[in-house]
Structures are given as C-alpha cells and as structure tokens.
Amino acid sequence: MVDVNNIDVYLKSQGIRPSFHRMKILEYLLRERNHPTVDTIFDSLRGMFPTLSRTTVYNTMKLFLSHGVVQALTIEEKEVRYDADTSLHGHFKCVVCGAVYDFGLEEEIKTFMNLKDFQINEHYIFLKGVCKTCLESREV
Amino acid sequence: MVDVNNIDVYLKSQGIRPSFHRMKILEYLLRERNHPTVDTIFDSLRGMFPTLSRTTVYNTMKLFLSHGVVQALTIEEKEVRYDADTSLHGHFKCVVCGAVYDFGLEEEIKTFMNLKDFQINEHYIFLKGVCKTCLESREV
DNA sequence: TCTAAAACTGTAATAATTACAAAAATACAA
DNA sequence: TTGTATTTTTGTAATTATTACAGTTTTAGA
Ligand SMILES: [Mn+2]
Ligand SMILES: [Mn+2]
Ligand SMILES: [Zn+2]
Ligand SMILES: [Zn+2]
C-alpha cells in the first residue's frame, strides 16, 4: 500500500508530477478509503481550499486513472467512484447507507478467472446488499 | 430460460402488459444475447418499425429492470448494457471487438459471496481482456 | 529575474438520460 | 359497434455528468 506520508514520491514513481492539488486529492483517497465520486472529493476538499475547481478533480482522476494510480468503479449507473487501492479485491455496496466496503478475494476467485482462450486484463467484482450496521438498526 | 415463442406469457407472469414494442424488444434481447445498450437496441429495431422512439426503449428497459426481466451491466463508464439473462453469471468484455461474453460461475464463486454479517442482494462480476478471436487475428 | 511549460480555473459544449405533455393504441362496457 | 377510460408511445425540452477549451496562474529552471 502507498504511504500517506510519501505521496509525492509515489506520484513521481508513477510518472505524475506531484502538484499540491494532486497530492491533496490522493491523500484524501488514501485516508478516507471511501470510494468517493468526483463530487464527494470536490465537496470534501473545497472546504480546505475554496479555490479548487471541479474540473481539476475530473482532470486529476483521469490522469490518475491513465497512470494506474486509481481504479474506477461503476457500481451504480451514473455514479463513478474511485479507489486508490488498485489491488484485486471485491466491493460490497450497502443499498441502505450507500457505503462501499472492500473485501479480499481468496484463491477460489482465481479459479474461474483462469479462463482458457481469453486474455484477462481487468476484472471487476462487486456485490450489493445491506451491511451489518444497517441490518442491526433495522431490527428495532 | 425464457422461451422466445412465449414472450407474452412470460411478460404477463412478470406483471408486465405485453405490448408490441415490449415483446419485440425482449425478443431482440433473448435472440441476440449481445448485452446491448439502449442505442444498439434502438438502431437495430427501428429498421423493422421506423416509428419506434428512443424514449420507448428507455422506458421499456426501466420497466423491465424494475420487474426483474433484465439486469443492467455497467461494464464501461457511460455504457449501460442490458441482459435478459438474470441468472448469476460472469461477463467478459473483449477490449478489442467490444463483444461481451457470458461465462458460468462454479461453486467457488459462492464461497466468497458467503460473507457473514452482510445480506447480499446483487452481485456483479465481470472481466475485461481480449477474446480468442481477437487474439488469433492479431497473431498475424 | 525571465521565460516556457505545466497546472488550474471557469464557462461553454456535449451526450446520456429523464420529464412531460400530447397523440395513438388498446380494453372493454354499454 | 361505439364511446370512453386507461395505457402506451412519441417527440421535444430539461436535466445532469462529463469534457472541451481558452484564459490565468503557478512552477521550474536557465
Ligand atoms: Mn476498494
Ligand atoms: Mn450475460
Ligand atoms: Zn449500511
Ligand atoms: Zn474480440
């Protein structure tokens, strides 16, 4: 995983110039781990520096995406989310609170990905349902 | 699987009045099995009946979706595709020809979906890469 | 300090989807 | 069959997320 204290080094290693905005955006992704949309990022950060433009967030996410610094998750139509954890893992979206949880994939997942005759470049796995918190608060 | 010759019966059983357009659209989905976008459906069908409106396709897909007659696949940003096969299966999109293939999931997939504390309502699994046909035609 | 390149901003343009109201088709009771 | 209410379809306008673009600011380095 990427060290939050060495974001500049990491960005350079990925061929991205570590500007202030880029570092703050990546720091946000790494710190919150909330799989945010562009608007979530924008709204969260402009409190800190109100000069931020939404276009900058879009541009930065596109740049990050093209350099493999983030992956895009289209869990819901019209709701593209971004994840700075680009490793292979599954996502669970709670349909009640909207939170997106990560979960690891064990060996078994690799079995069905080993499809002959096909070259696998990207794999997306996600689930939707109700998370533990929401299940409990409904039991009232 | 749904019988292409009894679409009207099937739609009624799902609580949907089987209008001409609805039957033709579902017939298209069942026959082609191509995971089409709204525009693909629209362009394919208006050759047969040019009076068709794009809005009707949108409306119909939304209706089908709410009745569980189709599932929506957002494999690519801004490219919502529809699948009349609502069973649990994986999708493979060839990044070369754009075709979306189905593949079955064996028992192992159920293992990691058996997450405790979470109620799973929907699961989406898809891969991207290059299909056999495209791999071969590149070997030239 | 000066200059060129890169990054950022804000607005305008684009494109997918949805809202909406009018027109057409359908169901069915009289 | 005819009349009427309901449903479906249509076409355009509105909305929304994203992208294009051009001007401005910042940065890096000679
Ligand atoms: Mn994740
Ligand atoms: Mn399928
Ligand atoms: Zn929840
Ligand atoms: Zn192919």
Q: How far is the CA of B92 from the centre of ligand 4 (A)?
A: 10
Residue B89 pLDDT exceeds 90: no
pLDDT of residue B111: 61
Tell me which of A115 and B25 has the higher pLDDT: B25
Q: How far apart are CA B69 and CA B7, in angstroms?
A: 11
Convert B21-34 to b/e letters by CB count within 10 Å (16 or more is b): bbebbbbbbbeeeb
pLDDT 10s digits, B68-82: 999 999 888 788 999
Q: Which residues in 90-129 of chain A line strand D, with CB less than 7 A from it?
A: none
Nearest ligand for residue A87 CA? 1
Q: pTM of the entire structure?
A: 0.86
pLDDT of residue A94: 81
Q: Are strands B71-76 and A119-130 parallel, antiparallel or unpaired?
A: unpaired
pLDDT of residue B118: 73
pLDDT 10s digits, A15-27: 999 999 999 999 9
Q: Is the CB of B53 under 7 A from strand D?
A: yes
Residue B63 pLDDT exceeds 80: yes
The answer to whether the beta carbons of residues B127 and A123 sit under 8 Å apart is yes
Closest among B37, B70, B90 to A125, alpha carbons compared: B90
- Nearest-Å Rg of the Cα atoms of chain B is 17
CA distances from B124 to A40, B87, B91 (A): 24, 11, 9
Write the DSSP symbol of residue B37: B
Distance from CA of B40 to the nearest CA of A (A): 18
Positions on chain C within 7 A of a protein C-beta: 6-11, 15-20, 25-26
pLDDT category at B140 given cuts 50, 70, 90 is low
pLDDT of residue B116: 67
Which stretch of A49-53, A63-67, A115-119, B132-136 has the lowest confidence by average pLDDT? Answer: A115-119
pLDDT category at B112 given cuts 50, 70, 90 is low
- What mean pLDDT comes out for the span A69-98? 87
Q: How far apart are CA B118 and CA A42, in angstroms?
A: 30
The answer to whether the beta carbons of residues B21 and B56 sit under 8 Å apart is yes
Closest among A71, A74, A97 to A84, alpha carbons compared: A71
